[in-house]
Amino acid sequence: MNPQSNSYWYARFRAAAFVSIFGAVIWTVLIVLPFSPFSKIPPIMIVGGPGEWLVVAYLLYISLGAGAFGWLSSILRVIEQEERRNISPSLMWPGYLLLFFGVTVSCASLGYAGASGGYALVNGSSSTLHQMLSPYLYPISATTIVAAAGALLVVLAMIRARGP
In a domain? residue 79: yes
Is 60 exceeded by the pLDDT of residue 1? no
Q: Measured between alpha carbons, how far is residue 157 from residues 24, 41, 84, 123, 154 in Å? A: 28, 40, 14, 49, 5
pTM over cut 0.75: yes
Query: Is the residue at 33 inside a domain?
Result: yes
- Residue 118 falls inside a structural domain: yes
| Domain count within the chain | 1
Q: Which residue has the higher pLDDT, 44 or 136?
A: 136
Q: For residue 146, give its domain range.
A: 3-159
CB 86 within 8 A of CB 162: yes
Residue 164 lies in a domain: no
Q: Does residue 54 lie within any of the structural domains?
A: yes
Q: What is the four-CA torsion angle of 30, 32, 34, 38, rounded to 10 degrees? A: 40
Digit-coded pLDDT (tens) for 53-106: 889 999 999 999 999 999 999 999 999 999 999 999 999 999 999 999 999 999
Inside any domain, residue 127 = yes
69 part of a folded domain: yes
